[in-house]
Chains A and B, each alone.
Chain A
């Protein structure tokens, strides 16, 4: 069993680090490849999780991360996360989800993904996240530590931010994170959809979140921190 975090004599150092993009959509693979290449990040693309897992033992060692689509034919992103964990591979995994697919995002985070992005994403954001993950990992001895630290660092901040919300804003965020649309939340809370929209806007600005996915990411980190404490991630 090859551990990607082990020592290596390959020339990855020249490129710094590598990102493995797994997506069944050719335009997405191609666009992400163009993006990472222009940012001088080494990139390899795979059309599905299985072909990535096949290549995994031959991949060069070094700092790397995986950027995987969640909804894929065959093995999906969540299954891939479980498979990697089963094999003892602790590569940091960032997942890409469909728009509004908050439930899947939460599921992926709980399965060990360090971050998630909703499609359509801004290339700059995803590049920033991947680069941050890669550079952070260089300061750590193991990818596992890196993953945990990444989460813990974020989680501490998230818990604080979410604690600053009013109870109503917190309720709205909880329901949004469950994947509920505004209107469903309005019914559940006995409010008008307009009130929920206003409450949601206040909650977002209080969190400093520019999109729902940013707000939900904070919520997930906060939840993970609450569930796991500082003992690390459990599936």
Chain B
């Protein structure tokens, strides 16, 4: 473009404004019919395709005003101040859609500032950003675009040839179209926003929300409430929330109301009843609404069904408590078992004073029987001495017995009917404490109809803990040669005859050496440098105290299986029979 008629840059915007010329230019007659048809088309577009209203508007401008291009520019915030974006453009200018100009360096800015229709002639002379814009703009007619009574954009028409002129009728049509179109656009925008808001509201409705007035009468009842409680909104409306749901508060209701009054919010867990009579635990957050004078008018409650969550939490707490209890019992039984070993050690120790006592007494007897007649004084002294020594040794023996008794003071078996499945599960849990079960598959093969067993739970669990830990240790061989290809621990239980139930713990470890198998259940026989300190001998003692048997077998080709039996609980033995 090398037009010689492009003058030097204008110093003032008025130098490029020729609006006043419109009055002097010859103007055609008002095209009311065309205008009315155009507005009708616009209304139709609004109804059929609201998103296309701006484009339709621009097309109508181009047609009615005989323009080469037409479009809408909308003010929007930019990085360095407000900008106008060519939001819509039709005709020759269409390729420029999306382009922007700074608000204050754009003809649109002038139009918005003056809030009136303006006609520019070669606006690029004052607005440098327009220089080089293709196609070249000769005359441009712009009308302000209002939203909520505020000018936030322009509707424009352009002539791209030097000889073309806009007239007063073009200006009138443009202004009218702008008013109607911007109003339509505003409505469409509002409608879209309303729809979005409606969607948000619909989402909110999925949550359990209710509002009630201060008389406890339900006003709003969301779809979430319908799902939670089973009552429909129609059924709930107007009812007393408290009565409808049989609410049980964690604290006195008056306290809840007082907190709500004082703080405006209260949250906590409620126990409530659903329409079908199910009890639910509901976490509620109540918010107090006040009117302009600060009087409480309504309470908004957001509710969440936490029945399962609370149940799970409670179960978790209970199982944690149970585990602690079991560990305490295990500790006690460990003491007991240690007492068993200590008993053996003390029995050996006891033999020392007993051997000394009998020997002293025999010595005394010998002296008395060997000396016929009167005893020599030194023999009497010796007799006194050995009797004294024997007495000392008897006291020493008594001391040993006392120590042992103290140690096993709590060691009485209490047999009760027990759920074997639960007993086994707990024992496995205990056995797992602090155990490294490297790559060991643990399988439970528990008969689905395990009868209750009559046992001292702690003692039988101790046996199981020992057998399981032994099995795991047996499979923990680190020597590559000793490592079995597959490590499986199988705990099984099933009735074996009308009287007894058999429990087994099988491993795939290296199995028992022939020599060890024979002495397996003897006290002081161990293949482990440091076990639990509870020998198989004590396991066997415990099982025998239950009239059961404990034995070991080969587990197929590799590994060991320990089996033991415990008696079934007879139906007439109930838990209450024990003191």
B522 within 8 A of A: yes
B386 within 8 A of A: yes
- Please indicate the chain B residues that have their CB under 8 angstroms from the CB of A122 in the complex: 358, 362
A120 within 8 A of B: yes
- Per-residue contact bits, chain B 330-361, to A (CB 8 Å; 1 contact, 0 not): 00000000000000000110011111111111
- Please indicate the chain A residues that have their CB under 8 angstroms from the CB of B390 in the complex: 31
When the two chains form their complex, are residues A30 and B389 in contact, meaning their CB atoms are under 8 A apart? yes
CB-nearest residue of chain A relative to B360?
A: A31
- Per-residue contact bits, chain B 535-559, to A (CB 8 Å; 1 contact, 0 not): 0000010001000010100000000
A56 within 8 A of B: no
- Per-residue contact bits, chain A 116-155, to B (CB 8 Å; 1 contact, 0 not): 0011111110110000000000000000000000000000
A28 within 8 A of B: yes
When the two chains form their complex, are residues A127 and B549 in contact, meaning their CB atoms are under 8 A apart? no
- Please indicate the chain B residues that have their CB under 8 angstroms from the CB of A180 in the complex: 519, 522
Question: Which residues 37-61 of A have a CB within 8 angstroms of B?
Answer: 37-40
Of the candidate stretches B220-228, B363-371, B437-445, the one touching chain A is: B363-371
> B355, B382, B389: which contacts A120 (Cβ < 8 A)?
B355
Of the candidate stretches A3-11, A87-95, A181-189, A206-214, the one touching chain B is: A181-189
Instruction: State the interface size on chain A (CB cutoff 8 A).
Output: 33
Would A27 and B358 be within 8 Å (CB), given that A38-B382, A99-B348, A99-B351 are in contact?
A: no
**A187 and B540 alpha carbons, distance in the complex (Å):** 11
Question: Which residues 156-183 of A have a CB within 8 angstroms of B?
Answer: 178-181, 183
- Please indicate the chain A residues that have their CB under 8 angstroms from the CB of B362 in the complex: 35, 122-124, 127
B84 within 8 A of A: no
Q: Tell me which of B362, B390, B393, B396 has the highest count of chain A C-beta atoms within 10 A of its own C-beta.
A: B362
Question: Which residues 370-414 of B have a CB within 8 angstroms of A?
Answer: 370, 382, 385-386, 389-390, 392-393, 396
Would A25 and B356 be within 8 Å (CB), given that A39-B366, A98-B351 are in contact?
A: yes
Would A123 and B352 be within 8 Å (CB), given that A180-B522, A183-B540 are in contact?
A: no
CB-nearest residue of chain B relative to A25?
A: B352
**A187 and B522 alpha carbons, distance in the complex (Å):** 12
- Please indicate the chain B residues that have their CB under 8 angstroms from the CB of A37 in the complex: 363, 382
B521 within 8 A of A: yes
A120 → B minimal CB distance (Å):
3
**Chain B contact patch, size range:** 35 or more
A75 within 8 A of B: no
CB-nearest residue of chain A relative to B550?
A: A187
Would A34 and B351 be within 8 Å (CB), given that A28-B356, A180-B522 are in contact?
A: no
- Please indicate the chain B residues that have their CB under 8 angstroms from the CB of A124 in the complex: 362
A64 within 8 A of B: no
CB-nearest residue of chain A relative to B390?
A: A31
**A181 and B522 alpha carbons, distance in the complex (Å):** 8
**A193 and B540 alpha carbons, distance in the complex (Å):** 13
A32 within 8 A of B: yes
CB-nearest residue of chain A relative to B397?
A: A120
Would A123 and B363 be within 8 Å (CB), given that A38-B370, A38-B382, A183-B544 are in contact?
A: yes
A145 → B minimal CB distance (Å):
30
> B363, B382, B389, B518: which contacts A27 (Cβ < 8 A)?
B389
When the two chains form their complex, are residues B522 and A184 in contact, meaning their CB atoms are under 8 A apart? yes
When the two chains form their complex, are residues B351 and A35 in contact, meaning their CB atoms are under 8 A apart? no
Q: Tell me which of B351, B364, B551 has the highest count of chain A C-beta atoms within 10 A of its own C-beta.
A: B351
> A38, A98, A126: which contacts B348 (Cβ < 8 A)?
A98
CB-nearest residue of chain A relative to B370?
A: A38
- Please indicate the chain B residues that have their CB under 8 angstroms from the CB of A121 in the complex: 355, 358-359
> B352, B359, B396, B518: which contacts A34 (Cβ < 8 A)?
B359
> A30, A40, A123: which contacts B358 (Cβ < 8 A)?
A123
B502 → A minimal CB distance (Å):
15
When the two chains form their complex, are residues B354 and A31 in contact, meaning their CB atoms are under 8 A apart? no
- Per-residue contact bits, chain B 248-291, to A (CB 8 Å; 1 contact, 0 not): 00000000000000000000000000000000000000000000
- Please indicate the chain A residues that have their CB under 8 angstroms from the CB of B358 in the complex: 120-123
A143 → B minimal CB distance (Å):
25
> A27, A127, A188: which contacts B393 (Cβ < 8 A)?
A27
**A181 and B344 alpha carbons, distance in the complex (Å):** 13
A33 → B minimal CB distance (Å):
9
- Please indicate the chain A residues that have their CB under 8 angstroms from the CB of B370 in the complex: 38-40
Would A38 and B366 be within 8 Å (CB), given that A31-B389, A99-B348, A184-B521 are in contact?
A: yes
A192 → B minimal CB distance (Å):
10
CB-nearest residue of chain B relative to A175?
A: B518
B333 → A minimal CB distance (Å):
21
- Please indicate the chain B residues that have their CB under 8 angstroms from the CB of A38 in the complex: 363-364, 366-367, 370, 382
When the two chains form their complex, are residues B549 and A187 in contact, meaning their CB atoms are under 8 A apart? yes
**A132 and B199 alpha carbons, distance in the complex (Å):** 112
- Please indicate the chain A residues that have their CB under 8 angstroms from the CB of B518 in the complex: 178, 188
When the two chains form their complex, are residues B359 and A35 in contact, meaning their CB atoms are under 8 A apart? yes
- Please indicate the chain A residues that have their CB under 8 angstroms from the CB of B521 in the complex: 184, 187
**A181 and B518 alpha carbons, distance in the complex (Å):** 12
When the two chains form their complex, are residues B382 and A119 in contact, meaning their CB atoms are under 8 A apart? no
When the two chains form their complex, are residues A119 and B355 in contact, meaning their CB atoms are under 8 A apart? yes
When the two chains form their complex, are residues A28 and B359 in contact, meaning their CB atoms are under 8 A apart? yes
A108 → B minimal CB distance (Å):
16
- Please indicate the chain B residues that have their CB under 8 angstroms from the CB of A96 in the complex: 355
When the two chains form their complex, are residues B361 and A34 in contact, meaning their CB atoms are under 8 A apart? no
B381 → A minimal CB distance (Å):
12
Question: Which residues 212-247 of B have a CB within 8 angstroms of A?
Answer: none
B141 → A minimal CB distance (Å):
114
- Please indicate the chain A residues that have their CB under 8 angstroms from the CB of B367 in the complex: 38
**Selected A-B contacts with CB under 8 Å, 23 pairs:** A25-B356, A27-B392, A27-B393, A28-B359, A31-B356, A31-B357, A31-B389, A32-B359, A34-B385, A34-B386, A38-B366, A38-B382, A39-B366, A99-B348, A99-B351, A120-B351, A120-B358, A121-B358, A123-B360, A124-B362, A127-B366, A179-B522, A187-B549
Minimum-distance CB pairs A-B, first 8: A123-B362, A120-B354, A31-B359, A27-B356, A34-B363, A38-B366, A123-B359, A119-B351
